[in-house]
Amino acid sequence: MDGGQPVPSPPVPFGNSLSDSSMSLEQKTTFAFVILLFIFLGVLIVRCFRILLDPYRSMPTSTWADGLEGLEKGQFDHALA
Protein backbone atom coordinates (compact mmCIF):
# COMPACT_ATOMS: atom_id res chain seq x y z
CA MET A 1 0.00 0.00 0.00
CA ASP A 2 1.13 3.55 -0.44
CA GLY A 3 1.93 5.71 2.54
CA GLY A 4 -0.56 4.18 4.99
CA GLN A 5 -3.57 6.04 3.54
CA PRO A 6 -6.85 4.11 4.03
CA VAL A 7 -8.59 3.20 0.82
CA PRO A 8 -12.09 4.74 0.78
CA SER A 9 -14.81 2.18 0.29
CA PRO A 10 -17.56 2.85 -2.25
CA PRO A 11 -20.78 4.22 -0.72
CA VAL A 12 -23.21 1.43 0.07
CA PRO A 13 -26.90 2.25 0.32
CA PHE A 14 -27.95 1.75 3.94
CA GLY A 15 -31.40 0.19 4.32
CA ASN A 16 -34.00 2.08 2.31
CA SER A 17 -32.05 5.28 1.72
CA LEU A 18 -32.86 5.37 -1.97
CA SER A 19 -36.58 5.73 -1.34
CA ASP A 20 -38.36 8.28 0.87
CA SER A 21 -36.59 8.13 4.24
CA SER A 22 -39.35 9.81 6.25
CA MET A 23 -42.13 7.71 7.77
CA SER A 24 -45.72 8.28 6.79
CA LEU A 25 -48.34 9.27 9.35
CA GLU A 26 -49.78 5.76 9.34
CA GLN A 27 -46.35 4.26 10.05
CA LYS A 28 -45.72 6.73 12.87
CA THR A 29 -49.11 5.96 14.42
CA THR A 30 -48.51 2.22 14.15
CA PHE A 31 -45.04 2.58 15.66
CA ALA A 32 -46.39 4.63 18.59
CA PHE A 33 -49.19 2.09 19.16
CA VAL A 34 -46.72 -0.80 19.19
CA ILE A 35 -44.51 1.08 21.69
CA LEU A 36 -47.55 1.64 23.94
CA LEU A 37 -48.42 -2.05 23.72
CA PHE A 38 -44.88 -3.00 24.75
CA ILE A 39 -45.06 -0.60 27.72
CA PHE A 40 -48.42 -2.11 28.74
CA LEU A 41 -46.97 -5.62 28.38
CA GLY A 42 -44.01 -4.65 30.57
CA VAL A 43 -46.31 -3.28 33.28
CA LEU A 44 -48.39 -6.47 33.23
CA ILE A 45 -45.29 -8.67 33.43
CA VAL A 46 -43.96 -6.71 36.41
CA ARG A 47 -47.37 -6.86 38.13
CA CYS A 48 -47.67 -10.62 37.57
CA PHE A 49 -44.19 -11.26 38.95
CA ARG A 50 -44.98 -9.14 42.02
CA ILE A 51 -48.15 -11.16 42.62
CA LEU A 52 -46.25 -14.43 42.16
CA LEU A 53 -43.55 -13.38 44.61
CA ASP A 54 -45.96 -12.12 47.30
CA PRO A 55 -49.53 -13.29 46.61
CA TYR A 56 -50.96 -12.40 50.04
CA ARG A 57 -49.93 -8.75 49.91
CA SER A 58 -52.61 -7.89 47.35
CA MET A 59 -55.43 -9.53 49.32
CA PRO A 60 -57.54 -7.36 51.64
CA THR A 61 -57.09 -8.01 55.33
CA SER A 62 -60.77 -7.61 56.20
CA THR A 63 -63.48 -10.11 55.29
CA TRP A 64 -67.19 -9.76 54.64
CA ALA A 65 -68.03 -11.02 58.13
CA ASP A 66 -66.03 -8.32 59.97
CA GLY A 67 -68.93 -5.87 59.70
CA LEU A 68 -71.42 -8.10 61.47
CA GLU A 69 -71.93 -6.89 65.04
CA GLY A 70 -73.79 -8.96 67.59
CA LEU A 71 -73.97 -11.95 65.31
CA GLU A 72 -71.59 -14.80 65.25
CA LYS A 73 -69.99 -15.57 61.93
CA GLY A 74 -72.15 -18.08 60.09
CA GLN A 75 -75.52 -16.99 61.53
CA PHE A 76 -77.61 -15.52 58.74
CA ASP A 77 -81.11 -15.67 60.26
CA HIS A 78 -81.54 -11.99 61.08
CA ALA A 79 -78.75 -10.49 59.00
CA LEU A 80 -80.94 -9.90 55.94
CA ALA A 81 -83.98 -8.44 57.78
Domain count, the chain: 1
Give the rounded percent of residues in the chain with a pLDDT score beyond 70: 51
pTM for the whole thing? 0.46
Q: Indicate whether 35 belongs to any domain.
A: yes
Q: Indicate whether 40 belongs to any domain.
A: yes
Q: How far is Cα 42 from Cα 51, in angstroms, rounded to an integer?
A: 14
pLDDT of 18 > 50? The answer is no
Q: Indicate whether 50 belongs to any domain.
A: yes
Q: Indicate whether 79 belongs to any domain.
A: no
pLDDT of 30 > 60? The answer is yes
**pLDDT band, very low/low/confident/very high, at 12 (cuts 50, 70, 90):** low
Q: What is the mean pLDDT of residues 34-53?
A: 95
**pLDDT band, very low/low/confident/very high, at 39 (cuts 50, 70, 90):** very high
- Residue-number span of the structural domain to which 39 is assigned: 28-55
Q: Indicate whether 47 belongs to any domain.
A: yes
Q: What is the mean pLDDT of the chain?
A: 75
Q: Indicate whether 33 belongs to any domain.
A: yes
Q: How far is Cα 42 from Cα 46, in angstroms, rounded to an integer?
A: 6
- Please name the residues in contact with 31: beta carbons below 8 A apart, sequence gap of 6 or more: 23
Q: Indicate whether 20 belongs to any domain.
A: no
Q: Indicate whether 9 belongs to any domain.
A: no
Q: How far is Cα 48 from Cα 60, in angstroms, rounded to an integer?
A: 17
